[in-house]
Structure 1
Amino acid sequence: MEAMHAPIYFERYDVQGEMSHVPPEVMESIRKNKVCLKGGLKTPVGGGVSSLNVQLRKELDLFASLVNCFNLPGLPTRHENVDIVVNRENTEGEYAGLEHEVVPGVVEILGSHKANIMKLADGLFLESCREVAKKYPGITYNEIIVDNCCMQLVLLEGLESRLEQGASAGNVGKDSIVMENKANPAALLLSSAMMLRHLQFPSFADRLETAVKRVISEGKCRTKDLGGQSTTQQVVDAVIAKLE
């Protein structure tokens, strides 16, 4: 943000996944500012310890979890022109989601359900989806049983890492790479661009997103997960150098 001279000022807090509770001053800051840029928080293994991620979701009623899946220039993938978002219920009920393209030109919405078994709960979910779909006749609406949906995701490996949150590449990597300065900063940088758009600073968001994509596309500076040998800081420095 400083490199772009964006009109954003952060209140910084050091929160570790091993903590038993989110510090009250952190919650106060989030409620006051209405925006929070959060890095990954490790969930401790074992009983009796509540995940800080779950605490944040419940305390702030963050009921929707949006996961973006899209191609980046310069990175070969099995599928092209992928632009999908999964909207997952975060705070109550079973997992439920809609896959859709969120940019202008939405072409399809898919309701993933278990109504064949959970006839009341997911039956109500499908009824609600169908009622909303009637209001948008120009958008194709389809339904799929979640078992089949998961099978399709497994078959399409290029989508799996971003769409199946529990099995995403970022979740199965070593925790130590963050401390070793090897983690890929692209996700956090692109999340920062999303934050800037939310705050109505689209020009700054475009600059940051374009810089990230240019660095990845050129392929000269990449972290190990993308086939390179660069450190986290080296990638960040390369992105800063590309800011226009």
Structure 2
Amino acid sequence: MAYSATLIPGDGIGPEVVDAAVRVIEATGVAFDWDRQEAGMGAFEDTGDPLPQATLDSIERTRLAFKGPLTTPVGTGFRSINVRIRQHFDLYANVRPCETLPNTHGPFEGVDLVLYRENTEGLYAGIEYFDERNQIADSINRITRTGSERIIRYAFEDALRRGRTRLTLVHKANILKETGGMFLAIGREIAPDFPDIEFDDRIIDNMAMQLVIHPGEYDSIVTTNMFGDILSDLMSGLVGGLGVTGSANIGADCAVFEAVHGSAPDIAGQGVANPTAVIRSGEMMLKYLGEDAAAEAVRRALHDVYADPSKLTRDLGGTATTAEFGDALADRVRAHVAA
């Protein structure tokens, strides 16, 4: 049986890295029926809508999407399509594992962290007001009990599934006593339901410092939307950058897996982009579908290929093109599946 999935190649380098990732995913032997759709700047230029109704309809039908990076105008223009998709399908949990690969030249070895970010509310809910007369702009940091409970509980449950032993809640409850205070209080309420997971908390600024000094002391992290956005990029920097980390957006009955880096239009079409981030997102998609053996084959193949510097893309000091990297990885995946 083939899994039905919406495929969104994206903007800039998106089609190149997604094509390589699809070849790697299909090398596992897991079958997909891809429904290719548009979103982002390319869709806006073609149709006048950066998120066409046909794309939304496809995700409504498949309840599963795999997407490349999308271009979002800075300061003006349309709102982030990533945010719109998350809010439209109530994809409340953003999951960002950060694991060290060989030859990524990060500042630390052996980093293995997972971040759980609330994905639909907080400052990114987009509740903003502008007072033209006084030139004052306001943004509402909306935190709800329902939203807080479900992301914190999801983090505990997923940490257990992954065999993790510690969850750190990150907040700013010392200053934001209502919003941050409620998020922290709910974490403390839920923690006793998971006695096998050690629970603690950190203030956001202290957590940022702790992660760049001794990240090995942490395991899993749960936090609100904006803090999660910042910490997830920081954590990616610990393992080599946004080009080597995957991302999942999970809801009650729908999920979108995507690259976390930008569309890099300056190198689009040159065959030099690193497809690892979207491949690792594909690994997460396989895991989500219960295809654990296939996901493990991709993970092991990545470690194999990264151990040989000659097979890496130019951002990591290698000479492989995007397609060559994808082909080498797909070969290793097939070897692991056959073993």
TM-score (norm 2): 0.63
- Report SS of the residue matched to 1:144: strand
Task: Please say if residues 22 and 52 of structure 1, whose CA atoms lie closer than 8 Å, have aligned partners that are also in contact.
Answer: yes
Determine which of 201, 223, 226 is the counterpart of 2:291: 201
The CA distance in 2 between the partners of 1:172 and 1:136, in whole Å, is 37
Identity of aligned residues (%): 33
Distance (Å, rounded) in 2 between the aligned partners of 1:225 and 1:31:
36
Alignment counterpart, residue 146 of structure 1, candidates 190, 196, 204: 204
CA shift digits 1:45-84 (9 cap, x unpaired): 2324212112111211112211111112454543333221
Shift of 1:105: 3.5
Counterpart of 1:41 in 2: which secondary structure? Answer: coil
Give the Å deviation of 1:7.
Answer: 1.9
Q: Is the 8 A contact 2:39 2:81 kept in 1?
A: no
How many aligned positions are there? 243
Q: Counterparts of 1:198 and 1:175 in 2: how far apart (Å)?
A: 30
Higher strand residue share = 2
Q: Are the equivalent residues in 1 in contact too, given 2:41–2:50 (CA < 8 A)?
A: no
For 1:205 and 1:217, locate their aligned partners in 2 and report how far apart those are by CA, in whole Å.
19
1:32 aligns with 2:61: yes
The CA distance in 1 between the partners of 2:263 and 2:34, in whole Å, is 28
Tell me if structure 2 keeps the 8 A contact 1:57–1:63: yes
Structure 2 residues without counterparts, runs of 5 or longer: 1-24, 125-147, 219-228, 243-260
Q: Which runs of 5+ in 1 are unaligned?
A: none
8 Å contact kept, 1:189–1:212: no
Q: Deviations over 1:158-193 (max 9, x none)?
A: 99x994338864347843223322111111112112
Are positions 1:230 and 2:288 aligned together? no
Candidates 182, 187, 192, aligned match of 1:129: 187
The 8 Å contact of residues 17 and 52 in structure 1, kept in 2 or not, is answered as no
RCO higher in structure (CA 8 A, sep ≥6): 2
Q: Alignment RMSD, CA only?
A: 3.0
Match of 1:15 in 2: 39
Given that 1:69 and 1:162 are in contact with CA atoms closer than 8 Å, whether structure 2 keeps it comes out as no
Aligned partner of residue 9 in structure 1, secondary structure: strand
Deviation at 1:234, TM superposition (A): 0.9
SS of 1:79's equivalent? coil
Residue from 152, 171, 188 that aligns with 2:278: 188
Q: Tell me which residue corresponds to 2:84.
A: 55
Could you tell which deviates more after superposition, 168-177 or 114-123? 168-177
Normalised to the residue count of structure 1, the TM-score between the two structures is 0.86
Distance 1:124 1:2 in 2: 44
Native 8 Å contact 2:72 2:80 kept in 1 = yes
Report the more deviating stretch, 206-215 or 113-122.
206-215
